[in-house]
Amino acid sequence: MAVAAVDPKAMEKKTGMKEAEIIRILTEIGMPTERKDGNLVVEITPNRPDLFPMEGMVRTLLAYKGGKVPEYKVLDGGYKMKVGKGVESARPFVRCAVVKGVRFDDESVRDAMQMQEKLHETVGRKRKKVAVGLHNLDAIKFPLEYVVGSGERFVPLETSEEMGLGEVLDKHPKGIAYAHLSRDAKVVIKDAEGVISYPPIINSERTKVNGDTKNLLIDVTGTSGEAVEGVLNIIATAFADAGAEIYSVEIGGERYPKLDYRKIGYDEDEVRRVLGNSVGKKEAKTALRRMGYKVKADAIYAPPYRVDIISFIDVIEDIAVGHGYTNFMPELPQLPTIGSWIPGESDIHEIMCGMGFLEAKTYVLSNDKLLADTPDRGRVRIANSTSEEFGTVRTSLIPGLLGTCKTNKTRGLPQRFYELGGVWNGGEEKRLAFVMIGQDAKFSRIQSALQTFAKEWGAELSLKPAEDGRFISGRCYSIHMDGKEAGVMGEVSPKVLGEFELEYPVAACEIMV
């Protein structure tokens, strides 16, 4: 979850509600809220980015209390942007809006910056998918151009030095932080006087927004047209709810933003199937009104800022939230069978837990460094992996469990962990691995656990001396179950323990199941 902080006094003034009621309603709709350090701290789920701006919270609270849903009017001011060739291979989508009559004060400036930051981190995937720019409209001369950069120079935000695009990536703090998003392909937004934005990196100092700014240009760029338009709608409607006027910008023959409510067909049978008979059509439509929908006799209309509404199941979720989860009566499922243990994996979990092992779930992806000492029978590597840590499909469960020991080494000893999962060994294999760490983590201990497992599993067990780089020579054995080689066990070598920063003995076992 992302966390947004708002001034409780400002929220009370805008909603006409007391702080306790604001906290109660936000919590009821799935956004846990508490007072902390003088602010209301709201935990916002990823599916509701429209609540990042304070105006989004206010709008939601008023609708929940039975208020009317707002209508949004987009005016035509003749603003235009031309999109140049080649941007589709760099950052293909751009959408803009003009906002006039903005009333900025300290609180609203903070809220606007918080909204931009949270949208970048969540929907924007740290600016890779979506990036937002806010500009002083009065410093811009239309028309605008969105083009591939080719030697342009400008003064980036919070500096006084003119820089080229490459210099921005090497010298400016934002350029250094986000250079990986623009090093290979650069795009810029220009007006008649030059660059106003270098997305997704930095805006121009010339169009800087401050407390005296009354009119704004919003630019949103990214790699997903749907996400870009959704974010623009969230920002535009927030300013509109604060009393500003919204003007469109024509891009490629289309005017943006598009702030019409979206028509969605209503399926009463599907609502009853998912939520039961306690929610009829009347109750469902009341719930949807509380969630900000427009409701008419033949259809419902989703708000333009609700980017999370993709299919009708999302509407059903809003019906449940608006109706109130506490108003549903719990019922036992009407199942024609009686539950029982499923043979196989459930038995393995029961055996391992019975011996005092805790289950761990580690990453399926690993890296060549951690897997250096494991047998290599044709490793699968991720092409063009963006992370050195996760570039190879694991060939053993033991490195992941040793990592678990490292993570928990301050939790007290001894410790026992196991994992049941898949690895790649020239083909996919299901394996069980378990480890012990502590002063008494000796070969005899791990052997005893293996013998207990084999007995409960119903397999005939035998051991043969073996050599494996992960284990101490002379304290490593290959495992044979029912006459077939099934795995390896032993005391982990000091070299491997050092790589995982483990200071106590570890014994480990891994078998195919």
Q: What are the distances in angstroms from CA 263 to CA 130, 270, 294?
A: 26, 17, 9
Q: How far is CA 212 from CA 33, 140, 157, 209, 245, in A?
A: 32, 16, 17, 8, 17
pLDDT tens for each residue of 283-295: 999 999 999 999 9
Backbone dihedral angles phi then psi of residue 213, each to the nearest 5 degrees: -70, 130
Residue 294 host element (H or E): strand 294-295
Query: What's the pLDDT score for residue 210?
Result: 87
Side chain identity, residue 308: D
Residue of 138, 134, 136 lying closest to 113 (CA atoms) = 134
* Secondary structure of residue 30 in the 3-state scheme: coil
Max intra-chain CA distance, the chain: 83
pTM of structure: 0.69
Which pLDDT value is given to residue 426? 82
What does the alpha-carbon distance between residue 417 and residue 359 come to, in Å, rounded to a whole number? 6
Segment (H or E) for 258: none
Secondary structure (DSSP) of 449-472: HHHHHHHHHT--EEEEE---TTEE
Half-sphere exposure at residue 439, Cβ-oriented, CA atoms within 13 angstroms: 1
Question: Which residue's entry shows tokens 């009393």?
Answer: 243
Residues forming a β-bridge with 133: 219
CATH assignment of 2-64, among 3.40.50.2300, 3.30.56.10, 3.20.10.10, 3.40.50.620: 3.30.56.10
Q: Is 246 exposed, middle or buried (0-12, 13-18, 19+ CB in 10 A)?
A: buried
261 contacts: CB under 8 Å, gap ≥ 6: 293, 294, 301, 302, 303, 304
**CA–CA distance, 379 with 396 (Å, rounded to integer):** 11
Q: From CA 142, how far away is CA 191, in angstroms rounded?
A: 6
Query: What class does CATH assign to 262-326?
Result: alpha beta
Contact criterion met (CB below 8 Å) for 44 and 53: no
Long-range contacts of 413-417 (CB under 8 A, 24+ apart): 413/437, 413/438, 413/439, 413/504, 414/438, 414/439, 414/440, 414/441, 415/358, 416/355, 416/356, 416/357, 416/358, 417/357, 417/358, 417/359, 417/360
Nearest in space to 463 (alpha carbons), one of 438, 446, 440, 441: 446
Instruction: Judge contact between 43 and 1, C-beta under 8 A.
Output: yes
What distance in Å separates the CA atoms of residue 266 and residue 299, rounded to the nearest whole number?
6
262-326 matches 2-64 in CATH topology: yes
Backbone φ and ψ for 278, nearest 5 degrees, come out as -75, -15
Which CATH number is associated with domain 74-256?
Answer: 3.50.40.10
How far is it, in rounded angstroms, from Cα 224 to Cα 248? 20
Contact between residue 59 and residue 229 where contact means Cβ atoms under 8 Å apart: no
What pLDDT score does 390 carry?
82
User: Which of 117, 130, 134, 124 lies closest to 52, judged by CA?
Assistant: 117
pLDDT at residue 474, as a whole number = 92
Residue stretches of the chain with pLDDT short of 70? 1, 335, 337-344, 376-377, 385-387
345-512 folds as: BirA Bifunctional Protein; domain 2 (3.30.930)
Give the residue extent of every domain in the chain. 2-64, 74-256, 262-326, 345-512
